[in-house]
Amino acid sequence: MKMSDIVAGYIIKMLDESDGNAEIQRNELANLLGCVPSQINYVITSRFTPEQGYIVESRRGGGGYIRITRVTTDRRVAIMHIVNSIGQRISAASARAIIDNMTAQRMISEYDSLLIQSALSDKAYGSVPQENRDILRASILKNMLMTIVILQD
C-alpha cells in the first residue's frame, strides 16, 4: 500500500471517529506514520478538497494545526457539483479518483463504481483515437452521474 493511501486512510479514520472533524499536527502525524511532513501536505491537498467534500483550515507556527471537516450535503447536490466540476476532458486516472472518492463517501455503491470505472477505462476506448479519449470519457462520466441523480427520485 502506498504511503499516501496510508495517510489518507488514517485521516479518514480520524474523521469517522470524530463525527467528520479532525484536527492534526502535521509533524506529529508524519512521525506517527513514518513519513515526511510534505507527504501529509500532498495527501491533504490532493484528497481532501472542497470538490471531494472537505473543508481544510490550517494555522502555521509552533501550535499550528490542520483542521479537516467533512461537509455533509445532499447526495444529489454533491453529485451535481461533481458533474459541474468535470471539464470537457478527463483522464482515466482523474476519473478513477473521482469515482473512488464518491464510493468512499458512499455517494455511489461499489457495484456502480465498478460499472463506471469499466466504462471509463482506456481498454474500453481501444478503437477511439488517443486524442479523443479524454473528451469521450468526460462526456460518458457526466452522463452516467446524471443518470444516477435521475434514478434517485
Burial of residue 147 (number of CB atoms within 10 Å: 0-12, 13-18, 19+): exposed
Q: Looking at the structure, do residues 90 and 125 belong to the same domain, yes or no?
A: yes
| Beta bridge partners of residue 58, listed in sequence order | 66
Q: Looking at the structure, do residues 36 and 57 belong to the same domain, yes or no?
A: yes
- Give me 96's grid cell: 478513477
Range of the domain at 110: 75-151
Q: Looking at the structure, do residues 53 and 80 belong to the same domain, yes or no?
A: no
Q: For the domain that residue 59 is a member of, what is the CATH number?
A: 3.30.56.130
Q: Looking at the structure, do residues 101 and 144 belong to the same domain, yes or no?
A: yes
Q: Tell me what the pLDDT averaged over the chain comes to.
A: 88
Longest dimension (CA), the chain: 56
At 28, phi and psi to the nearest 5? Answer: -65, -45
pLDDT value of position 153: 56
Q: Specify the amino acid at residue 57.
A: E
Of 146 and 73, the one with more pLDDT? 146
pLDDT value of position 59: 81
Q: Looking at the structure, do residues 53 and 104 belong to the same domain, yes or no?
A: no
Tell me: the pLDDT tens digits for 79-109?
888 898 899 999 999 999 899 988 987 889 9
- Give me 80's grid cell: 451535481
pTM: 0.59
Q: Looking at the structure, do residues 9 and 59 belong to the same domain, yes or no?
A: yes
The highest-confidence range among 1-10, 66-75, 116-125, by mean pLDDT, is 116-125
Q: How many CA atoms lie within 13 A of 80 on its CB side?
A: 8
Q: Which of 70, 100, 123 is the last residue of a domain?
A: 70
